[in-house]
Structure 1
Amino acid sequence: MSAATQTPADPAPSPLSQEATAPPEAAGTRADRFLASALEGLSRSRVKALIEAGHASRDGVPLTDPAESVRAGARYALAIPPPVPATPAAEAIPLTILFEDRDLIVLDKPAGLVVHPAPGNQQGTLVNAVLAHAGDDLSGIGGQARPGIVHRLDKDTSGVMVVAKTERAHTALSAAFATRDLDREYLALVWGLPATASGAVEAPIGRHPIDRKRMAVVGRGGKPALTHWRLERGYGAAAGLLRCRLATGRTHQIRVHLAHINHPVVGDPVYLRRIPATARLLPENLRSALLTFPRQALHAETLGFRHPVTGEALSFRAPPPPDMADLLARLEAHVARR
């Protein structure tokens, strides 16, 4: 029997190395803070993780403490290993892409699609879909070949979302969302007609004191939250279409705030606690259509931001999906017949 011939394994990809010399003004700064500011496209948390994993050096000597004080004139190097495959599996789920380049994807998320895998929901998510769509174009975020989720929409909220494909884009977009340096507008079909044409709800939001699966306006322990709204269209006194802008980004913020002012979102399974009194103002078939609408009638219609790399001002719009558009059309027809 002849000996088997072994072919050498493919060599592992070489890490990408970035270097920076510390200027005098950087002396005394934390090493992770200095490297995050001096090197391109890396968040401080990512730099810290790389230092702790042994991928950093100072003047050729291993650097393992992210908090070590920077020495002026020292040469710092960071070896960035190639991204490892993401844990979620890629799945061929259709996506409506509004814009895409090497740094990001803007898409129109359908209602019913969960954004991120979670316990009990590891498949069929937006992340799984983007992994299949973008494939090798994902350059690695946090050391993994995965899309960067910088904001989320609830499972049953539809509309415009942006997803980062690179760590540089992820860092910049995350900062923009954190500082609200962008434009976002939602359309919400609500029960009842507000007494004014516009308004704002400023009320802190936290976990409901009894039902921990819900959020609520709370007197103590909540986070500041501010929602601006404008009446887009009234349907008699029964319902109204509101255009909402967020000044903060709390969990379920629009839904909680509108329920708080007694104009809950139509179809909301969590914050619509009883049949609204204004439902009786609609004919039976239309009343039934609103009361049985299977999700919250909330749609992220527009999203505007500056491109994280080029600085170009970008703006995107997606009309309400067919289920919500049909409900609005039926309300319009009802008003027209009156």
Structure 2
Amino acid sequence: MSVMTRVIDQDEAEMRVDRWFRRHYPSLTQGALQKLCRTGQIRLDGKRVTASTRVIAGQNLRIPPLPEGARAPLGGQKRPLDPSLIRDIQHMVVYQDKSLIVLDKPSGLATQGGPGITTHIDMMLDGLQEGEVERPRLVHRIDRDTSGLLLVARTPGVAAKLAAAFRGRHVRKTYWAVVVGRPSPQSGTIDQPLVKLGAGQGALMMAADRKDADAQRALTDYEVVDAAGRKLTWLQLNPLTGRTHQLRVHCESLGTPILGDPKYGGDKTHIDGFEDRLHLHARHLEIPHPEGGMLSVAAPLPPHMLETFRRLGFAAGETPKAKRTKNKAGS
């Protein structure tokens, strides 16, 4: 393979270099890509790049000779998805249009693959392609044991726009949790930096000292919605940053770990009569729609949280239907 030059399409604008290559050359490993960037073999308009550099429509991307086995572009034969998984992913759809799809992910299903994970949302997205050239792609992630809303883009351009909205904090995310105990005060902002300990599936996020060089700032607004005395509380959580396990660690830092979360709350999170599953649900998303206006989507409580709400007398009310408000002409 000789050196090639590709012009970045409008629909690929704002995409990271590594994701552009993953789309067009899925067999190229991240390590090999980073080496090509580090040695200056991949360039945008003649300038050196890193794997995280974002491309702009109309730029010329230099593609050097690629390692053997990484040269075949996307479009080869894929193993067909099991029909039962296609049905499962289609049943998760709570909103869709020509630009994006919103899923209601069940608790216990991973968003992406990893060691020992054979079934996950990312591989099931083939079931939503529906004959289109582009394969839908995830815009963000939620924990395996967290239920609720996941945003999926139909094209790379839409994915880039939505990712930019997340980075710019233009997306409002609302989670519901049932926690053990009752926080005081009943509302506020948790400003607690986090640091990662360990690696792989055994890694933990821990509250960190502000002076720790590895600490990442993490902010969460919280509010008590209802409470069963001081034993269990329904919290509304609005993360202002997107750190791994942020809400779980922040709830624990309040002294009120999430029910069914022994990883961060220990034995305290087990209460007889309530299911030992994480009681954390991505309830609502409000996002700028790539085609203009705002999109508001909500997901109903999963069965284990619905039963807990019923037992505690918490009234969740009806789940509002998805609503898109378009910009007014001239605004």
Name the SS of the counterpart of 2:265 in structure 1: coil
Name the SS of the counterpart of 2:131 in structure 1: helix
The code of the aligned residue for 2:224 comes to L
Q: Which runs of 4+ in 1 moved over 6 A?
A: 75-82
Match of 1:188 among 177, 181, 185: 177
Q: Does residue 1:117 correspond to 2:113, yes or no?
A: yes
Q: How many Å apart are 1:46 and its aligned residue?
A: 5.9
The code of the aligned residue for 2:310 comes to A
1:190 and 1:264 in contact (8 A); partners too: yes
In 2, Cα distance between the equivalents of 1:88 and 1:196? 53
Match of 1:207 among 186, 196, 203: 196
2:193 and 2:216 in contact (8 A); partners too: yes
Match of 2:272 among 288, 308, 321: 288
In 2, Cα distance between the equivalents of 1:125 and 1:97? 15
Summarize the alignment of residues 170-319 of structure 1 with structure 2, pairs less than 5 Å apart: 170-208=159-197, 213-219=203-209, 220=212, 221-275=214-268, 287-290=271-274, 293-308=275-290, 310-319=291-300
Structure 1 residues 89 and 79, CA gap change in structure 2 (3 angstroms): farther
Summarize the alignment of residues 140-179 of structure 1 with structure 2, pairs less than 5 Å apart: 145=135, 147-179=136-168
In 1, Cα distance between the equivalents of 2:240 and 2:288? 17
2:176 and 2:282 in contact (8 A); partners too: yes
Q: How many Å apart are 1:240 and its aligned residue?
A: 0.6
1:102 and 1:165 in contact (8 A); partners too: yes
1:106 and 1:161 in contact (8 A); partners too: yes
The code of the aligned residue for 2:152 comes to V
In 2, Cα distance between the equivalents of 1:102 and 1:134? 12
In 2, Cα distance between the equivalents of 1:105 and 1:48? 21
Structure 1 residues 300 and 85, CA gap change in structure 2 (3 angstroms): farther
2:183 and 2:254 in contact (8 A); partners too: no
Give the share of equivalent positions with the same residue, in percent. Answer: 29
TM-superposition CA deviations, 1:302-332 (whole Å, max 9, x none): 0111222x11310001121111011111011
1:289 and 1:327 in contact (8 A); partners too: no
Name the SS of the counterpart of 2:267 in structure 1: coil
2:190 and 2:250 in contact (8 A); partners too: yes
Structure 1 residues 222 and 236, CA gap change in structure 2 (3 angstroms): same
Q: TM-score with structure 2 length normalisation?
A: 0.71
RMSD: 3.3
Provide the residue aligned with 2:309 in structure 1: 328
Aligned residues: 267
In 1, Cα distance between the equivalents of 2:293 and 2:62? 31
Structure 1 residues 215 and 209, CA gap change in structure 2 (3 angstroms): same
Structure 1 residues 216 and 85, CA gap change in structure 2 (3 angstroms): farther
1:307 and 1:314 in contact (8 A); partners too: yes
1:188 and 1:241 in contact (8 A); partners too: yes
Name the SS of the counterpart of 2:268 in structure 1: coil
Q: Does residue 1:90 correspond to 2:62, yes or no?
A: no
In 2, Cα distance between the equivalents of 1:48 and 1:192? 46
Q: TM-score with structure 1 length normalisation?
A: 0.70
In 1, Cα distance between the equivalents of 2:196 and 2:19? 33
Q: Where do 5+ consecutive residues of structure 1 fail to align?
A: 1-16, 20-34, 54-63, 140-144, 280-286, 334-338
In 1, Cα distance between the equivalents of 2:19 and 2:127? 28
Provide the residue aligned with 1:27 in structure 2: none
Higher mean alpha-carbon deviation, 97-106 vs 163-172, is at 97-106
Structure 1 residues 79 and 102, CA gap change in structure 2 (3 angstroms): farther
In 2, Cα distance between the equivalents of 1:198 and 1:47? 39
